[in-house]
Chain A
Amino acid sequence: DAGVIQSPRHEVTEMGQEVTLRCKPISGHNSLFWYRQTMMRGLELLIYFNNNVPIDDSGMPEDRFSAKMPNASFSTLKIQPSEPRDSAVYFCASSLVESTIYFGEGSWLTVV
C-alpha cells in the first residue's frame, strides 16, 4: 500500500526564491493536512482540506504561503518569496474524516 507521498524530500534554496512542495495523499482519503515541524513549536497545522476544499487555513503564517488541492490526489504548498525562517520540515498527511491521520515522510526545506 502506498502511503502519503511527498516531494521533494530535500530542498535547498536561496532567500527570495519560490518553493513548491507536493503531496499525493493515500487513495480514498478525503482529508489532507499540511504541517510544519520546528524545534521551537513542534508540529504546527498550516492548513487542512476536506474533499479538496480548504477548511481551516488559520495556521498559514503569512501571505507568502499558499496551498491548493486541485483534485483528490494532489496538493501543493507554495512559499513565495521564501525566507530563512521558513526552514523546517513540512509534512503532508491524509485521513478519512474522523479517522487516523497518516503522515508522509516530510520535505526538508532549507532557505539560505
Chain B
Amino acid sequence: DQQVKQNSPSLSVQEGRISILNCDYTNSMFDYFLWYKKYPAEGPTFLISISSIKDKNEDGRFTVFLNKSAKHLSLHIVPSQPGDSAVYFCAATTITGGGNKLTFGTGTQLKVEL
C-alpha cells in the first residue's frame, strides 16, 4: 500500500522550460514533505521541503507547492537545466510524531534535453 505515489515514472523536458513533478499522498497525518534528488550510482540528496502550514516554498529555481485538500504536492523547476536530469523522490513524514521516518514515493526520472 503506497502512501506516497508518484504516478509518472519519467518526464522529458527541454532545457530552459519548466519541469513539473507531481506527488500524491494518502495519509492525512503527514505534515512535512520533502523532495530528494538522486543521480546514478549516488545516494539521494535533499533538495527542498515544505511544512503543512504552508502552501508554497521556494529556493532558487526550485519551488514546491502543497495542496492539502487534494493531498497533492508538486515540484517546479524553472528554468530546467541538463544538470537537473536525475530521479526525483517525493517523501513525507509526521513531524508531530516526534521522529523523522520518511515514506518515499517510487520516483520520477527527469530528463532535461538540450
Contacts and interface: CB of A to CB of B under 8 A. Distances in A.
Nearest to B49: A100
A86 interface: no
A110 B102 CA distance: 25
A91 B43 contact: yes
Contact of A56 (B41, B42, B43, B101): B101
Interface string A94-112: 0101111111111000000
A37 to B, nearest CB: 8
A42 B104 contact: yes
Contacts, number: 61
Main secondary structure of the interface of B (DSSP, over half): loop
Contact of A98 (B43, B91, B100): B100
A67 interface: no
Nearest to A105: B43
B85 interface: no
A99 B32 CA distance: 11
A106 B39 CA distance: 12
Nearest to B107: A42
Given A50-B99, A55-B99, A98-B99, A44 B43 contact: no
Contacts of B43: 4, 91, 93, 102-106
B78 to A, nearest CB: 24
Contacts of A101: 46, 100, 102
Contacts of B13: none
Given A45-B101, A55-B99, A95-B100, A40 B106 contact: yes
In order of increasing CB-CB distance, the 5 nearest A-B pairs are A103-B43, A42-B106, A43-B104, A100-B46, A103-B44
Interface of A: 4, 31, 33, 35, 39-45, 48, 50, 55-56, 91, 93, 95, 97-106
Interface of B: 2, 6, 36, 41-46, 89, 91, 95, 98-107
